[in-house]
Amino acid sequence: MKATMKELYEGERPYEKCLAYGAGALSDTELLAVMMRTGTVGETACELAGRILNVPGYQGLTGFGRIPLERLLKLKGVGKVKAVQLKCAAELAGRMAKADAGERLCFRNPDTIADYLMEELRYEEQEQLIVLFLDTRNRLLKEKLMFKGTVNASLVSPREIFLEALEVHAVYIVLVHNHPSGDPSPSQEDIHMTKRIYQSGELLGIRLVDHVIIGDRRYCSMREQKLLPEAWKEKDSR
């Protein structure tokens, strides 16, 4: 029979290690073990945590954040309670990282936008439309998932987007959505939807500054590709 957490040498137990040296001294495995609190029959919490962090196809912390609930439930020693704890811990960690990044970043740069949402969107099997609401200095006021499914002009409502923008006193907005195919090239529907939202914003004095499409480790900025209506107007005026 393998040792339980209590039977481990005191200096090797994550709780005592955290109290003595701080959470930063704990390994990824030890941090996960603390969150789970207990192991299973014949397996310490640390050993179980190590097994979870090495699930094929989901290795490491980045993989852990993507493990589906159904996959966790199939692991020996992980019941419903532990699976929910783990998914909530991963979600909280992701939200904390995004909140911290959002306070420091300038969202006028498409590289920044892509980096901010790439890992969240590149694995999604359905299209999602997220709107970033920005202040006069292009800092993030709020982000909101506005639509999930087939993102096209007939289904996405500019009214809902700009009601949200007015509520948070946004000056600019950025559209971000993913292509599950992995190819971020904009479709004609993407271009048409962008035009509708841009024109609605111009009437309200809320500028659409970019529409960034996320693929698999790639992205397309409509502003960089001169596909925003403001570029079309410049072309027409020549």
pTM for the full predicted model: 0.66
What are the C-alpha distances in Å from 87 to residues 65, 81, 143?
Answer: 7, 10, 21
Strand pairing report for 172-178 and 207-214:
parallel
pLDDT at 38: 83
pLDDT at 179: 93
What is the enclosing helix (H) or strand (E) of 207? strand 207-214
Tens-digit pLDDT string for the chain (238 aa): 344 444 444 435 888 888 888 888 888 889 888 888 888 888 888 889 999 999 998 888 878 878 888 999 999 889 898 889 888 888 787 777 666 666 667 788 898 888 888 878 877 888 999 999 999 988 889 999 998 887 766 678 899 999 999 999 999 999 999 999 999 999 999 999 999 999 999 999 999 999 999 998 899 999 999 998 765 554 444 4
Which amino acid is located at 236 in the chain? D
Contact call for residues 134 and 174 (beta carbons, < 8 A): yes
Residue 21 tokens read as 């040296």
Contact call for residues 212 and 174 (beta carbons, < 8 A): yes
- Across 149-192, the runs of DSSP E, i.e. the strands, are 172-178
pLDDT at 231: 56
Domain ranges of the chain: 10-100, 106-236
Which amino acid is located at 207 in the chain? R
pLDDT at 101: 62
Which residue, chain included where needed, has tokens 């179980």?
48
Contact call for residues 192 and 153 (beta carbons, < 8 A): yes
Question: What distance lies between CA 219 and its chain's CA centroid?
Answer: 15
Structural class in CATH, domain 106-236: alpha beta
User: Helix 158-167 crosses helix 188-204 at what angle (to 10 degrees)?
Assistant: 40
